[in-house]
Structure 1
Amino acid sequence: MSIQHPQFNLSRRSLFKFSAGAIGTGVLTAGLGSKLLAAEKKAPAEDDITPDKALQELLDGNDRFVKRKRRNPNQTYSRLVEVAKSQKPFASILGCADSRVPSEIVFDQGLGDLFVCRIAGNIATTQQIGSLEFGSLVLGSKVIMVMGHERCGAVDAAIKGAQVPGKIGSLLEAIKPSVESSKGESGDKLENACKANIAAQVERLKTSSVLSELIKAEKLKIVGAYYDLDTGKISVVS
């Protein structure tokens, strides 16, 4: 599905007037289909939660996970039936593809709660940015969290200048600027580079015209967070 279209030219005034139906005739025409767009129209009002409250909901869920007090919300069959009709995720996660960091589990969330994009090194590619724009502008997600993690293999490989086959090198190239920017910092080299990479991806997301307009209108917050593999604790770092 192409996410580029000459009709996708949003002014500040028109940005928030964009409905799912309008997008269906522009950016997302045939790719999404009329059924999805009709479903989104039936979703609750997008202002039912603020960006700050959405972030706190994530952190509260992680606190329950760390303390082994998970509620496992929205994981029933009735919830499955409910969100089959439409989705209204309150938060989006740009996370690493690492199998040890499953967003719904570490944030103690359920079906339809999170809009998740995962890629090795939690890098904001063009496609990831487009997905997150959709999650915020159309689905109404109130916070985007870029979540890196302790001992990230992709960042470690970028630090070591690993020679890798296939397309893996494209991931390392995207991380290398953060490795360079973190050189000379005191402390653990890998942790510093991981956190620098998180901050870099947050800033890259903020260059999106769609996301920046939502931030200006106080409809969205973008933050960076670091996940401790040993404890399960998530800390906001940018």
Structure 2
Amino acid sequence: MTDATSPTPSEAFALLLAGNQRFVAGTPQHPNQDAARRAETAPGQRPFAVLFGCSDSRLAAEIIFDRGLGDLFVVRTAGHVAGAEVLGSIEYGVSVLDSPLVVVLGHDSCGAVAATRAALTDGLGSTTGYVRDVIERVTPSVLAARAAGLSGDDEIIDEHIRHTVALLLDRSRALADQVTAGRTAVVGMSYQLADGSARLVTARGLPAEMAASGPGGVTPHL
């Protein structure tokens, strides 16, 4: 959004859900992808959401949420692992660009989670380079899932999404303050590769009734 009026966190979440529903139904509108939008956003940007997702090539944010230029401020890493650069980018989107929504987007069949589970079983000896760093950052989520008695792939991935949301709010005082003040919400979602739907896993800063009626009919951990 380039005007002075930003949507509320709830309105931003609704925009995101509506776009994903169009994508799933095969009726995308491809909004804000024309020359007029390009000219409109050239002087500045006011994205309505910060999208922090996995780098998986099948998670192209503007496509799966049917959005266009200037709508989403996208940050992506393998396994949506968060370091200082990621935290700084998210804080920029929230504090400087005034985005009212932060989305942590994981997905089923996540390679980073699968590699971490294998490493915990077989050891890290065969893992080299910076891939090992990604695995080490996903490890606390997998261990927490095991401690909670979770063993299914989707359960462990959901735990990693919840862990990432908690980590962002714990490490970024700026983001936590925005959520406390009601200016920003942080949600965790899991994308399903086969049908294209994005399911709500956890939400901080959304009205309880909106979060509880998230997509997929699943009541998230609030």
Q: TM-score, normalised by structure 1?
A: 0.79
Letter in 1 for 2:192: D
Q: SS of the residue aligned with 1:124?
A: coil
Q: Identity over the aligned pairs, expressed in percent? A: 38
Larger gyration radius, structure 1 or structure 2? 1
Shift of 1:165: 2.2
1:185–1:192 contact (8 Å) kept in structure 2: no
* Counterpart-to-counterpart distance in 1, 2:154 and 2:128: 25
* Matched positions, count: 194
* Counterpart-to-counterpart distance in 2, 1:61 and 1:44: 20
Match of 2:70 in 1: 112
- Residue 101 of structure 2 is aligned to residue 143 of structure 1: yes
Match of 1:192 in 2: 155
Shift of 1:164: 2.1
Shift of 1:177: 0.7
Give the ranges of 4+ consecutive aligned residues of structure 1 lying more than 4 Å apart after TM superposition: none
CA RMSD of aligned residues (A): 1.3
Give the alignment partner of residue 145 of structure 2, picking from 163, 182, 189: 182
Shift of 1:44: 2.9
Q: Superposed, which structure 2 residues align to 1:1-238 within 5 Å?
A: 43-45=2-4, 47-161=5-119, 163-183=126-146, 185-186=149-150, 188=152, 190-207=153-170, 208-238=172-202
Q: TM-score, normalised by structure 2?
A: 0.84
Instruction: List runs of 5+ in structure 2 lacking aligned partners.
Output: 203-222
Letter in 1 for 2:169: K
Instruction: List runs of 5+ in structure 1 lacking aligned partners.
Output: 1-42
2:106–2:157 contact (8 Å) kept in structure 1: yes
* Counterpart-to-counterpart distance in 2, 1:108 and 1:63: 9
Shift of 1:187: 5.6
Letter in 2 for 1:214: Q
1:202–1:224 contact (8 Å) kept in structure 2: yes
Letter in 2 for 1:228: Q
* Counterpart-to-counterpart distance in 1, 2:27 and 2:149: 37
